[in-house]
Amino acid sequence: MSRRNSETTGIKRQLYTALADMTWRGQLAAEINDYPDTLTAELSTRYRCCEYKEKAVLTHRLRVAMGLAPEDVPRHATLADMAKIALSRTPKPKQCGLEMMAVACDRCPFEKYIVTDVCRNCIAHHCRVTCPKDAITIVNHRAYIDRSRCVECGLCERSCPFRAIIQVTRPCEQACVPKAIVRDGNNVARIDCEKCVGCAACIPACPFGSVADYTSIVQVVSALKEGRSPVVALVAPSFVGQFGTKASPSALRLALLEIGFTHVHEVAQAARQVAEDEAAEIKHRMSEGKPLTLSSCCPSFVATVKTQFPQLEECISTTPSPMAHQATQVKAANPAAITVFIGPCVAKKSEASLLPDVDAVLTFEEVGCIFVARGINIATLSGNGTLGEGDTLGRGFAKAGGLTKAVKAALGEAEIATHLANGLDEVLQTLTKAKKGELNANFVEGMACSGGCIGGHGTLVNRQVTEKLLDRYCEA
């Protein structure tokens, strides 16, 4: 996203674009071995200790970008070997869609509380007095924390009038609301897939670019190039404005058709049907004495319920997400079609891995790199009108509260109490209340990303900008 653009983002997009270009030209296996050398020579800044570490990190990033996990490739396999494996596979996302690349992890400081140079060795020594474990001593006229005694309670930090003791948290750990980032014996961070909900907040949080999500760029571009099966694009409602304010919805359709998609569907059409089905399910559940229904559209919200609040799992709606609904319609019409969901959400990759009708998921960022590789500037394409068959309420799914609005419209005169959990912090608070029976709601719309799907980590534009453009599109 633009608000998180950094040099790590730039390198990632450069890799994505290069993969798309080499795959389209049929030279992926022939050229990819040389790419780390080429890119290292082009980089104006050295990010690692030496060029060998630089190339090693780039090699792992390319592997992940080709959709391959460590267990997918033989030991000592070259990038060319990996490319052949990637090209031989049909597009299908992985259930655990994120990888913490150990070679790129900087092993950020383990100590949670650190005494800085601001320490004045004051007479009061509030830090030492308040420490319940006698972990603080004075060494060379400065407070010193004995790590073998410290229990990281934080009393020393709060008691110091100079704020000389600070709390240091790894950026990835700080960003991970479900606490799925853990450390191994070598102080290298890794992702606990049992706790991870796929929100991808850790990706932009890590300043070393050690977290990446598996992509289907190689497999999708290969399918588009070969043209042996129809490849159908399922575009999420949050597409508005992602490729520039001058890029019209119909121009996006033309661009997708130009790179080889045979059909383009606006998932907002399926979203409206999902709202109808959701409303019917809510009424049915209430008639059976089940007053609470949790939305099923956001995969990270669903994963949070299942991993951290299993006692609420039976409250999750059985209505499929708009992506699943739209893909099922396409497959029913043509079982041979390859369905590619295009949206803002990394977590959709994990959801798609469990769905038989969704073959691949690309984020707007990944699609944008494919456009760059093919030399397509959507802003220069003519066209007016909508992307497809969606309506106002279906397109409103893209932002927080849109699902609730559509469900209420489908319920008509039936009154229900609704609650919006906007962002994972609010999701945890809401589910905690529901667990205790303190939540006064019949329907909870849960969104892992603040602002809804337009705030997803696979978007290209700041959500405040997107929200205005989306409102305008819904009114058209």
Residues 158-176 have pLDDT tens digits of 999 999 999 888 899 999 9
pLDDT of residue 382: 77
What's the mean pLDDT in 322-326? 97
Judgement on whether residues 151 and 96 belong to the same structural domain of the protein: no
Residues 382-419 have pLDDT tens digits of 777 678 778 899 999 999 999 999 999 999 878 899 99
From 88-102, 281-295, 332-346, the region with the lowest mean pLDDT = 88-102
What's the mean pLDDT in 422-441? 96
What type of residue sits at position 213? D
Q: Are 406 and 254 in contact (CB under 8 A)?
A: no
User: In angstroms, rounded to a whole number, what is the distance separating the alpha carbons of residues 50 and 34?
Assistant: 18
> DSSP for 233-247?
EEE-GGGTTTT-TT-
pLDDT of residue 476: 64
Judgement on whether residues 198 and 253 belong to the same structural domain of the protein: no
Mean pLDDT of the chain: 92
The more confidently predicted of residues 95 and 141 is 141
Judgement on whether residues 393 and 286 belong to the same structural domain of the protein: yes
Given a cut of 50, whether residue 1 has pLDDT beyond it is no
Judgement on whether residues 419 and 274 belong to the same structural domain of the protein: yes
User: In angstroms, rounded to a whole number, what is the distance separating the alpha carbons of residues 216 and 331?
Assistant: 19
- The band of 333, judged by pLDDT with boundaries at 50, 70 and 90, is very high
What type of residue sits at position 195? K
Domain boundary residue, one of 150, 167, 184: 167
pLDDT of residue 90: 86
Judgement on whether residues 359 and 251 belong to the same structural domain of the protein: yes
Judgement on whether residues 34 and 142 belong to the same structural domain of the protein: no
- The band of 93, judged by pLDDT with boundaries at 50, 70 and 90, is confident
pLDDT of residue 3: 46
pLDDT of residue 244: 84
> DSSP for 49-63?
SSHHHHHHHHHHHHH
Judgement on whether residues 344 and 370 belong to the same structural domain of the protein: yes
> DSSP for 406-450?
HHHHHHTT----EEEEESHHHHHHHHHHHHHT----SEEEEESST
Judgement on whether residues 146 and 288 belong to the same structural domain of the protein: no
pLDDT of residue 2: 38
Judgement on whether residues 182 and 305 belong to the same structural domain of the protein: no
What's the mean pLDDT in 230-257? 92
Domain boundary residue, one of 167, 190, 206: 167
pLDDT of residue 4: 54
From 38-42, 112-116, 370-374, 384-388, the region with the lowest mean pLDDT = 384-388
CA distances from residue 431 to 404, 424, 456 in whole angstroms, order as listed: 17, 10, 21
pLDDT of residue 475: 76
User: In angstroms, rounded to a whole number, what is the distance separating the alpha carbons of residues 166 and 156?
Assistant: 9
User: Which tokens go with 350?
Assistant: 């994990």
CB atoms under 10 Å from CB of 50, counted, come to 9
- The one-character DSSP state at 337 is P
Task: Please state whether beta strands 231-235 and 338-343 pair in parallel, antiparallel, or not at all (unpaired).
Answer: parallel
Task: Please state whether beta strands 181-183 and 189-191 pair in parallel, antiparallel, or not at all (unpaired).
Answer: antiparallel
> DSSP for 267-307?
THHHHHHHHHHHHHHHHHHHHTT---EE--S-HHHHHHHHH
What type of residue sits at position 180? A
Judgement on whether residues 117 and 208 belong to the same structural domain of the protein: no
- N-terminal to C-terminal alpha carbon distance within the chain: 26
Given a cut of 70, whether residue 44 has pLDDT beyond it is no
User: In angstroms, rounded to a whole number, what is the distance separating the alpha carbons of residues 236 and 252?
Assistant: 12
pLDDT of residue 50: 85
Question: Is the backbone of residue 235 left (phi > 0), alpha (psi -120 to 50) or beta?
Answer: beta
Domain boundary residue, one of 218, 243, 277: 218
Tally of domains in the chain: 3
Given a cut of 50, whether residue 346 has pLDDT beyond it is yes
Judgement on whether residues 447 and 321 belong to the same structural domain of the protein: yes
User: In angstroms, rounded to a whole number, what is the distance separating the alpha carbons of residues 408 and 392?
Assistant: 14
- Cα 188 from chain centroid (whole Å): 22
Judgement on whether residues 315 and 195 belong to the same structural domain of the protein: no
Q: Are 399 and 474 in contact (CB under 8 A)?
A: no
Residue 368: partners with Cβ closer than 8 Å, 6 or more residues away:
13, 242, 243, 460
The proportion of the chain whose per-residue pLDDT surpasses 70, expressed as a percent, equals 98
Which structural domain, as residue segments, surrounds residue 23?
A: 2-107+172-218
User: In angstroms, rounded to a whole number, what is the distance separating the alpha carbons of residues 19 and 62?
Assistant: 8
Given a cut of 60, whether residue 260 has pLDDT beyond it is yes
The more confidently predicted of residues 111 and 103 is 103
